[in-house]
Structure 1
Amino acid sequence: MAPYASEDSQSQDQGPGQSARRRKAARYAVPVAVLGVAAATIGLVPALADSGDPELPKITAQELIEKIAASDTQQLSGTVKIHTDLGLPSFGGAAAGGLLGGGAGGGEDGGSSADPKEKLPELASGTHTLRIAADGETKQKLSILDDASEYSLIHNGDDVWAYDSKSDQAYHAKDTGAGDHGKKERSGEVPATPKELADEVLKASGDTTSITVDGTAQIAGRDAYRLQIKPKQSGSTVGAITVSVDAKTGTPLKFSLTPASGGAAVIDAGFTSVDFGKPAASTFDFKPSKGTKVTEADDLAKQGGADKAAPKGAEELDGLEGMDGLNVIGEGWTTIAELKLPKEAGDLASGSAAGSADLPPDAQKFLSSLGDQVKGDFGSGTVYSTRLVNVLITEDGKAYAGAVTKDALVKAADAG
């Protein structure tokens, strides 16, 4: 793979022909995308512990939010450590995240082990080392480093490549919307200035959220402010979200989500090294070697490969088809989604799905380990729990889900 070299450690300015709207899109998108790819969808291992609390000028929460919004970081490269602990079990060495999110194709039935939806769900559990690089909104690279292999996802212009060195397979797709988000009209949707954005964020937080500056830290050798976001409402499983922001550039360097129940962070991701120079153009080059199996996304779609890799019955859940609408209960951190499940899904309330022939043995163990029988005015059901998100499925086929406690779900079901 191409090296993560720096071509110009001082160059961060864009060409004079670039539109202000395009700069704004990249300004907001690049730092979020870098950590968000490990976020969305992650406490860090001891190696990521803060190495000191630097003395920095005092700053308010509003000023720090403005600083993030005003950040003009469009080029960077570095190494990220990510740790996720949702409290999901592992069976026979198989992570629960893989059971639910990916790994089904593995190159079989027309699929590809290099397909991002096969590989990226691995980030839902355990500790991973990533190398990232970004050069504006059309060039990004993310590599997941294992002991003896590497997986890379490269976006370069209108091409998206993914390569799995372990299986020597590549996946190629066309990004027909490359750069479009910088061209679309967004008037009335995005605040015009960083101050307006900060005002909107603080206004939206209202009575549900506390936003403060919780001191300083040193991340990847750089001085940073810690922006802490905490629910004011009771009943949420979220304890606090902390974002460490580079004091000089305003770029988020570390993200941590701790649960209300205490203990290690559920999600934690942060740079261990970072360079704000322009990555070398060769960083984003990729050409499959002779003998590499290449899967084209368009061909896979025509062959129905995605459908073949899906578990039996999954087509009924696609796009929430077969579900009787969605009802949102509550607001802020205690928001709960209520929906009516397809008839076949009602068995989950009694745990009978664990004996279904449609589920592999590991998935049966997985569901059984998460299930907790509950009763209330609504009847009976089963709560499937993680350290962050809980789901209640009732005997009459309704589902209640949110980053809330089990008691909050039961209360919502009773009210319903």
Structure 2
Amino acid sequence: MAANEVPSETPSEVRGEARGETRRKASRYVVPVAVAGVAAATIGLVPALAAAGDPDLPEITAQQLIEKIAGSETQTLSGTFKVSTDLGLPALGGLASGLGGQGGGASTADPAQKLTELVSGTHTLRLAADGPERQKLTLLDGSDEYSLIHDGDDVWAYDSKSNEVFHEKGASEGPGAEKPEGKELPATPKELADEVLKAAGDTTSITVDGTARVAGRDAYQLVIKPKQAGSTVASVKIAVDAANGTPLKFTLSSVEGGKPVVDAGFTKVDFARPDASVFAFEAPKGAKVTEGAAEEARKSQKLPENFEKDFGKEFGEGFGDFGKGLNVLGEGWTTIAKLDTGAPAPKTDEAPKELQGLLDSFGDKVTGKFGSGTLFTTKLVNALLTDDGKVYVGAVTKDALVEAANSGK
């Protein structure tokens, strides 16, 4: 056991069970993909030591570093951010447009479509933030730029390549903007850290592993590793600004090795308040402007009072019926979601032509006590779709999925 890990006999007050609910849309031909929940766990209590060549910073424990992150008061920043993603998926070029993702009159500036580019390859972004009401993200692609600006109630997106603009009004007025009823949020960093500790278990090691320089800033390295066998996650590393507690870099590595699944961080950062002009936007002359669905609905008709609240309730009840077929197997890093669709799995040769090659390229036929099915794999999340319509998904190894299906649970 590492020197800065807590033994499994951790006091009961730092133990608990991390729970969460996942909402996702079902599609007949879309490969099931889920993001594994990370269970907060064993907190290292021994101070970190700086490695040779890294900044010499005051000693700090993992618990103290978590409190530092929770207590960060960073509201303003600007800088350059680089993100590299390698899920081990085949090239997806042209798939979205082939399936109608760019068709049907949709704007190429729509964030729901444009930002999906970040799920693969390496991208450079410019970021700016001035509190919760103003943020700007610019995706650089050679000489072309794509900008997404949130300024109060307005969200603007501009694609310089197509000279198209997407606009959504009332972005901060959605149902998610209000605090959930009956849910008291931690009032202090210490309380938030305590909540993390209460959700801790012996499935994970959380330690401070030295220091680093990120974007010219001194940082501590918080490292999260599974203790359970069978997870596809090797480690999660977060570089935390030593001065203000702002996360500067995030690295997610797979047990398969090679390039990280996600490696994202600032290459340059400034915590001064950006000029107000950074968030100002006016559609360029001649640009095609597309209004978002919410704005179009407002223009066409007046929605009934409490529409969003009532709709959310009805949607939730409907989703509850869908969730009756959902079962969660295991715990921590080896959690597997099982969904019984109640219908035989569709044959890949019935899928749209644009999808057939994709499905065949990373879908492998497997057999076991459960019968037969198709295993879809990435470097992080794997999914088993049995021929009788059951779906097993998790950030676990292929063998773990087959074993879960064989168990018949």
TM-score normalised per structure 1? 0.76
Once the two structures are TM-superposed, the CA of residue 232 in structure 1 deviates from its matched residue by: 1.1
Aligned partners of 1:405 and 1:110: how far apart in 2?
A: 41
Q: Which amino acid aligns with 1:63?
A: Q
Q: Which amino acid aligns with 1:288?
A: A
User: Does the CA-based 8 Å contact 1:102-1:121 persist in structure 2?
Assistant: no
Alignment partner, residue 393 of structure 1: 385
Alignment partner, residue 148 of structure 1: 143
Aligned partners of 1:57 and 1:300: how far apart in 2?
A: 52
Aligned pair count?
341
Q: Does residue 359 of structure 1 match 2:355?
A: no
Structure 2 gaps of 5+ residues are: 1-34, 37-50, 298-317
Q: Secondary structure at the match of 1:278?
A: coil
Aligned partners of 2:245 and 2:397: how far apart in 1?
A: 34
Alignment partner, residue 95 of structure 2: 99
Q: Which amino acid aligns with 2:224?
A: I
Question: Relative to 1, partners in 2 of residues 1:339 and 1:182: Cα closer, same or farther, differing over 3 Å?
Answer: closer
Alignment partner, residue 82 of structure 1: 83
Q: Does residue 287 of structure 1 match 2:282?
A: yes
Alignment partner, residue 60 of structure 1: 61
Matches within 5 A, 1:4-403: 52-90=53-91, 94-95=92-93, 99=95, 104-106=100-102, 108-178=103-173, 184=179, 188-298=183-293, 325-341=325-341, 343=343, 346-347=345-346, 352-353=347-348, 355-356=349-350, 358-361=351-354, 363-403=355-395
Q: Which amino acid aligns with 1:335?
A: T
Q: Secondary structure at the match of 1:63?
A: helix
CA displacement, residues 339-379 of structure 1 (integer Å, 9 cap, x when unaligned): 12363x603xxxx31x22x4133x21111011111111111
Q: Which amino acid aligns with 1:374?
A: V
Question: Relative to 1, partners in 2 of residues 1:299 and 1:208: Cα closer, same or farther, differing over 3 Å?
Answer: closer
User: Does the CA-based 8 Å contact 1:76-1:276 persist in structure 2?
Assistant: yes
User: Does the CA-based 8 Å contact 2:214-2:267 persist in structure 1?
Assistant: yes
Once the two structures are TM-superposed, the CA of residue 229 in structure 1 deviates from its matched residue by: 0.6
Alignment partner, residue 308 of structure 1: none
Q: Which amino acid aligns with 1:393?
A: L
Once the two structures are TM-superposed, the CA of residue 394 in structure 1 deviates from its matched residue by: 0.4
Once the two structures are TM-superposed, the CA of residue 178 in structure 1 deviates from its matched residue by: 4.8
Aligned partners of 1:263 and 1:368: how far apart in 2?
A: 23
CA displacement, residues 56-91 of structure 1 (integer Å, 9 cap, x when unaligned): 01100000000000100000010000000000112x
Aligned residue among 406, 409, 415 for 2:407: 415
User: Does the CA-based 8 Å contact 2:169-2:295 persist in structure 1?
Assistant: no
User: Does the CA-based 8 Å contact 1:137-1:179 persist in structure 2?
Assistant: no
User: Does the CA-based 8 Å contact 2:168-2:295 persist in structure 1?
Assistant: no
CA displacement, residues 125-149 of structure 1 (integer Å, 9 cap, x when unaligned): 0000000001110101111001120
Q: Which amino acid aligns with 1:57?
A: P
Q: Secondary structure at the match of 2:162?
A: coil
Give aligned-pair identity as a percent.
Answer: 59
Aligned partners of 2:370 and 2:342: how far apart in 1?
A: 18
Aligned partners of 2:323 and 2:329: how far apart in 1?
A: 17
User: Does the CA-based 8 Å contact 2:235-2:252 persist in structure 1?
Assistant: yes
Q: Secondary structure at the match of 2:172?
A: coil
User: Does the CA-based 8 Å contact 1:323-1:342 persist in structure 2?
Assistant: no
Q: Which amino acid aligns with 1:212?
A: T
Aligned partners of 1:78 and 1:206: how far apart in 2?
A: 36
CA displacement, residues 294-329 of structure 1 (integer Å, 9 cap, x when unaligned): 000138966xxxxxxxxxxxxxxx969878621111
Structure 1 gaps of 5+ residues are: 1-39, 42-49, 303-317
Q: Secondary structure at the match of 1:64?
A: helix
